[in-house]
């Protein structure tokens, strides 16, 4: 396993990280809490040192379980969490989004609660969870500075979502030199990632990018095929059928990234992201130990060649020569699409 550093923070992360949204929740399939803890510890054994959770996952349960699982190796790992959703006063309704709360007093209290659940005195990376651009106020930025100065946190981040990403928010975080911006980014969903690469180059920012959903909800690792029936509670079911249908065609066009015995498609999908210098770590959604075995090894497979990277870029620019709607022609925007329009993307702002 190779390692990189988040921004200018000095915080080291493994190139493949563990997204602990699968711990303490059932959105990605049911598993016992003992199984979840065992998976986290197994990931450590496979060289993964970056673990990314959030206080809202399982209404704090993910943090509690992660704290238990990592108690014996705390000095060997990097822990990130997220705050900004007020689940304390609002019940969860299915997969619906809870009300956000980004006032500094609330955030400070939320951080203290997270530390208690994680059984930590400080957290390596604190991320604002889906904050809108007008919620990242000078007071919030001042709070993040104070938490760093106090030693409560070592690095700051912004986690974007829950759709593909919010351009205005990510641009602001990059311009403000946040240590990290987390986003949905993969070889089939390149627009937002490419935009932030341009923002980083334009501003000279040291901000690192943390891609999640590197396998595009199961297409690129072939865990979702034309024969797959997603369970009622499976979070991947939010994608329209057209997305998967076009995705399977695009997958076939990407087969050249596989190398028999050296690089699987699942590994190539992660290696493609790691080929971009601002990317610090990639956080796939591990569902089994077999996933961990395969994807943790992506840090050490043959890197993509310039020819392969160029070929991927050309396919994306031409939309893989598929001339029909994939059902996902929208990007989430908190500023009525002004960020999308100014970026020159031919997309509609999601309602």
Q: What is residue 82's three-state secondary structure?
A: strand
57 catalytically annotated? yes
Burial level of 71, CB count in 10 A (0-12/13-18/19+)?
Answer: exposed
> Which of 14, 30, 23 is closest to 54 using CA atoms?
23
Distance CA 68, CA 13 (A): 20
Q: What are phi and psi of 283, to 5 degrees?
A: -115, 90
Residue with tokens 């651009």: 133
Distance CA 337, CA 197 (A): 20
> Which of 109, 44, 46 is closest to 79 using CA atoms?
44
> Which of 136, 200, 191 is closest to 339 using CA atoms?
191
Q: What share of the chain is helix, strand, coil (3-state, %, to 5)?
A: 45, 15, 40
Q: Which of 57, 85, 88, 244 is catalytic?
A: 57
174 in Cβ contact with 207 (< 8 Å): yes
Catalytic residues: 57
């Amino acid at each position: 396993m190779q390692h990189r550093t988040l921004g200018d923070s000095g915080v080291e992360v493994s190139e493949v990280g563990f997204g602990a949204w699968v711990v303490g929740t059932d959105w990605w399939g049911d598993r016992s809490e003992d199984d979840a803890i065992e998976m986290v510890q197994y990931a450590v054994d496979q060289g993964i040192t970056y673990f990314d959770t959030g206080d809202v996952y399982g209404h704090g349960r993910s943090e509690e379980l992660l704290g238990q699982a990592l108690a014996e190796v705390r000095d060997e790992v990097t822990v990130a969490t997220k705050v900004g959703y007020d689940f304390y006063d609002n019940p969860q309704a299915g997969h619906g989004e809870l009300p956000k709360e980004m006032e500094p007093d609330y955030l400070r209290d939320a951080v203290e609660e997270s530390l208690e659940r994680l059984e930590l005195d400080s957290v390596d990376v604190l991320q604002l969870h889906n904050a809108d651009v007008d919620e990242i106020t000078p007071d919030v930025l001042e709070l993040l500075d104070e938490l760093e100065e106090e030693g409560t946190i070592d690095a700051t981040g912004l986690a974007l979502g829950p759709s593909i990403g919010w351009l205005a928010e990510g641009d602001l975080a990059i311009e403000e030199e946040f240590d990290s911006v987390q986003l949905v980014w993969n070889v089939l969903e390149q627009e937002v990632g490419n935009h932030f690469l341009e923002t980083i180059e334009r501003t000279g920012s040291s901000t690192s990018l943390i891609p999640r959903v590197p396998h595009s909800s199961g297409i690129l690792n072939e865990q979702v095929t034309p024969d797959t029936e997603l369970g009622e509670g499976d979070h991947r079911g939010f994608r329209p059928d057209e997305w998967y249908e076009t995705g399977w065609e695009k997958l076939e066009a990407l087969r050249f990234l596989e190398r028999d015995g050296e690089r699987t498609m699942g590994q190539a999908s992660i290696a493609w992201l790691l080929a971009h210098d601002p990317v610090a770590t990639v956080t796939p959604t591990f569902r089994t130990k077999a996933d961990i075995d395969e994807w943790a090894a992506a840090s050490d497979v043959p890197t993509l060649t310039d020819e392969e990277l160029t070929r991927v870029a050309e396919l994306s620019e031409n939309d893989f020569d598929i001339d029909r709607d994939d059902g996902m022609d929208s990007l989430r925007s908190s500023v009525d699409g002004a960020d999308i329009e100014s970026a020159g993307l031919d997309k509609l702002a999601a309602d």
